[in-house]
Amino acid sequence: MLHLPFLYVAPSELGGKGVFTGQAIEEGSIIELAPVIILSAEDREAIHQTRLHDYYFQWGGDRAAIALGLGSLYNHDESPNADFTLDYEFKQIRFTSIRKIEAGEEIKTNYRVGDKDMRLWFEAE
């Protein structure tokens, strides 16, 4: 697992907790390589009955992945400052900045990446 050493978790205006940066991050920087625990389709259905429902990523069709590190704590934004890529070969999620992120700013991704019509399980602002 690799992540920038100056990332931290704090309360988010979006609700709950979020990931923030203590130093500026330049556009195109890798923020984190988060290893994942891959769940079967059956396990994915089971976690819908738990609090983990809000923290998994779709993985290769009907499976799910729980991101370790800070990976499951990045909040959603329709105008994100970071993007994520599912790396099936290395079984990790790569989080990358898509613009300069200032010190103290929350790092946010768009959960709909690759599927702009995806229906979110919460009210997006």
Q: Is residue 30 part of a domain?
A: yes
Q: Is residue 27 part of a domain?
A: yes
Q: In one letter, which amino acid is 53?
A: H
Q: Is residue 124 part of a domain?
A: no
CA triple 103-108-109, angle to 5 deg: 140
Q: Residue 48: pLDDT band by 50, 70, 90 thresholds?
A: confident
Q: 73-111 burial string, b = 16+ CB within 10 Å, else e?
A: bbbebeebbbebebeeeeebbbbbbeeebeeeebbbbbb
Which H/E stretch holds residue 41?
helix 41-47
Q: Residue 50: pLDDT band by 50, 70, 90 thresholds?
A: confident
CATH number of the domain residue 42 falls in = 2.170.270.10
Structural domains counted in the chain: 1
Q: Is residue 122 part of a domain?
A: no
Question: What range does the domain containing 94 cover?
Answer: 2-109
Q: Is residue 116 part of a domain?
A: no
Residues above pLDDT 90, as percent of the chain? 62
Q: Is residue 18 part of a domain?
A: yes
